[in-house]
Structures are given as C-alpha cells and as structure tokens.
Amino acid sequence: MTLQKTLNIQEISPEQHHSFLAEHDQASFLQNPLWPQTKQAWRSQSVGWWDQDKLVAASLVLYRPIPIPGLRGRSLAYLADGPVFDPDTIALESILQPLIPFARAEGAFLIRMGLPFVLRRWDADDVRKALSAGEHKMIPELSPAESHETALTMADDLSRLGWQEPALSEDFEAGQAQFQARIPLPVLTDEQRADRESPEFQAAVEEVLMRMDSTSRRQTRKSTRSELTISSGGREAIGQWQALYEETAERDDFIGRPQSYFEAMFEALNASEIAQCKVLFAHYEDKLLASAIYVQQQGTGWYVYGASTREESKRYAPRGLQLEQIQLSLEAGASWYDLGGVSATLDKDHELAGLTRFKTTMGADVVQTMGEWDYPINKVMARAFQAYMQRRG
C-alpha cells in the first residue's frame, strides 16, 4: 500500500548508499555512489530519505555548474535513474516534498530527475514489424504488450506537482534516452548459472537466441564457429580498446570519449561491491576485430560501448561479443541485458531507425521509461538555461 509520509532527507555515506542499492536489484549503475569518479566536472552527493530510523529511498545527485552569465555559482541538480525506492510502499509526493528545498539549499536552480520506472513495454517483433510497415510514426502509437499503472500514476502526479514532462522526440536529447532496448533473460539457479556447459545454461542461451530474427541468430551462431578468441582485459588493456574505438569514431563520424573516461569507469565500478565493468575483446589470430565495454550491476547487464574494424567481417566478431555479454549476464543472474537507448521513431528512413532495427533483431523489447522531468526551482534561471542549451544545439 502506497503511503503519504513525512520523510527526512539528508546526505548519506557511500557505504549506506551501497547497502541500500544491494537490496534493490534493478537500480542502474548510474546510481552507484562510485559513478561520479567518471564525472570530474560535477559535484556529487549520495542522498537518503528516512522514515524515522529506516532508509526508504536513496539517490545519487550530480550538480553541474553552468558557466553562463546570471547562473554563476548555481547548478543543475541531476538525478539519473533516481531516486531508487519502492513506489508500492512510499508515495512519490513524499519523496519530492523534501527534495526541492534540499536541492535549493545546495544551490540548484533546476532539478532534472529520471525516475527508474517503466511506463510501457513493446515486444521486439511488434516494433520491428511496425518499422518495416511504415504505417505509424512513433512507437507510442502501437498497442503495448504491457503497461505499468503505478508508473503511469506517478507521471500524472509529476504533472500535477508542476514538473515538466519530457517531450516525445525522434532524436536523442541530452541525458538518458526515454526509450530503451532490453532483452529479457531466463531465470537460472545459482548452480545452473555457474556452469556454461550445463544443459540448463545452454538452454537459456538458446532461448535468447530464438528471440533474434533469423539473420541475427545465424550470424551469432557463425561467430562461435569462426575461430575467434574472446577475452577480457584489465585496466592496462584499455589502450587497445581506445585505439579501436577511435578508429570506429573516425569511420562512423562521431566524437568519442577520451581514454581517461574509460579508465575511470573501469576503476570506479570494479571498486564497487555491487557492480563490475569488463573490457571485452574478439581476436582472430593476432588481429583485434571487435571490443566492447560491458557493465553489470545487480539484476541488469549493459552493453555500454562497442567498437570494431571492418576487416574479417564474415567472422561476425561484434556478434560474438554480444553473445559473450549475454552469457555474462546470465552468469550474474541478471533479469535483463540492456542494449541502451533507441529513438521513438517508426520512420524507417530516419537516421536512427537502423539502431532500433538492429536492437530489435537482437530480440530486445522496447520499454518506455518515465524519462527525465524538470522542476524549475528558479524559473528565470531555468529559462535562461533552456535558452543556452537550445543555442548550443
């Protein structure tokens, strides 16, 4: 039963935050208290909500100073995939009431919050077929396979309380994409997932493969017969990843992150008792063909970054690394393997349509998260910030 309560909000230690997240297996690694080590330009806090002496909600809050006239000394308060709490026992309003004055006291002029709950889910096949048919413009026009009333009610509550809803867009906006591609994973016992050669583990892998379309499944199977060597490396191997990543960025015309970012990510998440980060490689003989950054925390595995060469393409090295990450997620007991964001568009000619097509052919359902909502603590400053972001593009 959801209850409206008066909660006390205060900064908590990383140890308290870790302990809380350990009891919430769907919490994102973006909420990990060690994640701010990758965000050198941001100030961070672990914040907790207390019901008397019980910690009932927690969130990592990042504060970003905005270097424009009129906003110096003030910051954007950013809660990515947070706060983490049980909406069936704690009312959202109980969380928001103390959050706003707390953020104001910390110098925030705007709160941007992406609650970690799913509004709707669409089956991979339905999205893929709709994209091919071209009869709909956006994914929400399709009938969902599943809707979550608690999250839908929270969205209504946010609007009622003056929070600004994220706009539905075909393009990726700043922050986390509202639509995510996730492959549901079979449940295995501890004993079954400890042995990749067990019949149960192999059956689970086969179940995931059968979610794929015929081309993805065939290429993934071929990758296992193409003499690839799949391995993972430590921090010292990140230079190999970076070289291939920069090659990929130049070829595909995007601006990549520096090597220091991946080193910080690797060290931060592997220092956490609830998460791990792996740098994966696929070699043919002595040639590196593909690499990936994989993260797992509690109940989810994430494909975070990927890079590849076009050499030896018929060995399907990127497919081999996808299969490895699926198996790592099964070994960890994860419920989901997350392939990251997709566009809401169903326009097959849109530049982001290919990404949705690829991820759904991998068997990933599309979920609509609540997205990132804004609360303008200072409306004048918030408008100045929005104008600045629009000018910056």
Q: Coil, strand or helix: which one is 203?
A: helix
Between the alpha carbon of residue 131 and those of residues 65, 85, 125, 146, 152, the distances in Å are 40, 35, 10, 19, 25
259 and 178, same structural domain?
Answer: yes
Q: Are residues 300 and 330 in the same domain?
A: yes
pLDDT in the model for residue 85: 97
pLDDT at 322: 98
- The three-class DSSP label of residue 391 is helix
Q: What's at 175, amino acid-wise?
A: G
Token representation of residue 118: 């799913």
In a domain, 152, yes or no: no
In a domain, 66, yes or no: yes
**What confidence score (pLDDT) does residue 149 get?**
97
Reported as a single tens digit per residue, the pLDDT across 3-24 is 678 999 999 999 999 999 999 9
Do 284 and 383 belong together in one domain? no
Whether residue 85 lies inside any domain: the answer is yes
Residue 388 lies in a domain: yes
Please tell me the total number of residues recorded for the chain in this structure.
393
Section 312-334 average pLDDT: 97
Q: Is residue 2 predicted with pLDDT exceeding 70?
A: no
- Domain assignment of residue 1, yes or no: no
Q: How confident is the prediction for the chain on average, in pLDDT? A: 94
- Residues 109, 240 within the same domain: no
Nearest to 363 by CA among 206, 100, 183, 200: 183
Q: What is the mean pLDDT of residues 144-162?
A: 97
Whether residue 83 sits in one domain with residue 139? no
Tell me the Ramachandran region of residue 371: left when phi exceeds 0, alpha when psi lies from -120 to 50, beta otherwise: left
What value, to the nearest 5°, has the Cα angle with vertex 269 and ends 268 and 275? 155
**Same structural domain, 185 and 256:** yes
**Residue located via tokens 């950054």:** 293
For the chain, the domain total comes to 2
CATH of the domain at 83: 3.40.630.30
Cα gap 251→229, rounded to integer Å: 24
Q: From CA 292, how far away is CA 243, in angstroms rounded?
A: 12
Q: Positive or negative, the Cα torsion across 31, 33, 35, 40?
A: positive
pLDDT surpassing 80 at residue 72: no
Does any domain span residue 386?
Answer: yes
What are residue 107's DSSP bridge partners?
none
pTM comes to 0.94
pLDDT band at 383 (very low <50, low <70, confident <90, very high): confident
- Res 40: pLDDT: 86
Sign of CA dihedral 186, 182, 337, 350: positive
Residues 342, 382 within the same domain? no
Mean pLDDT, rounded, for 114-142 = 96
Reported confidence tier of residue 346, pLDDT bands at 50, 70, 90:
very high
Domain ranges, residue 29? 8-114+372-392
Which residues, 6+ apart, have CB-to-CB distance to 10 below 8 Å? 47, 48, 50
- Chain centroid, CA 185 distance in Å: 16
Per-residue pLDDT tens over the stretch 135-144: 999 999 999 9
Residues 290, 261 share a domain:
yes
Residues 6+ apart with CB under 8 A from 16: 46, 48, 55, 58
Q: Beta partners for 296?
A: 276, 301
Q: How many CB atoms lie within 10 A of CB 57?
A: 23
Contact 111/91 with Cβ under 8 angstroms?
no
Q: Give tens-digit pLDDT for 353-374.
A: 999 999 999 999 999 999 999 9
- The whole-number average pLDDT for the span 208-214 is 97
What are the pLDDT digits (tens) for 157-189?
999 999 999 999 888 877 899 999 999 999 999
> Strand 8-11 vs strand 54-65: parallel, antiparallel, or unpaired?
unpaired
In a domain, 321, yes or no: yes
Residue 67 shares a structural domain with residue 165: no
The Cα–Cα gap between 50 and 351 comes to 46
Distances (CA, A) of 198 to 183, 202, 205, 211: 22, 6, 11, 21
More confident residue, 371 or 392: 371
Q: Which pLDDT band holds residue 1 (cuts at 50, 70, 90)?
A: low
Residue 175 lies in a domain: yes
The mean per-residue pLDDT over the stretch 319-328 comes to 98
List alpha helices for the chain, DSSP H: 14-21, 92-105, 124-133, 149-160, 190-193, 199-209, 214-223, 238-252, 259-270, 317-331, 353-361, 379-392
- 77 pLDDT tier (thresholds 50, 70, 90): very high
Q: Are residues 384 and 326 in the same domain?
A: no
Does one domain contain both 213 and 273? yes
* pLDDT mean over 212-237: 97
Looking at the predicted structure, is the pLDDT value of residue 343 above 70? yes
My answer on whether 284 and 142 are in the same domain is: yes
d(CA 345, CA 176): 16
Q: What is the mean pLDDT of residues 206-227?
A: 97
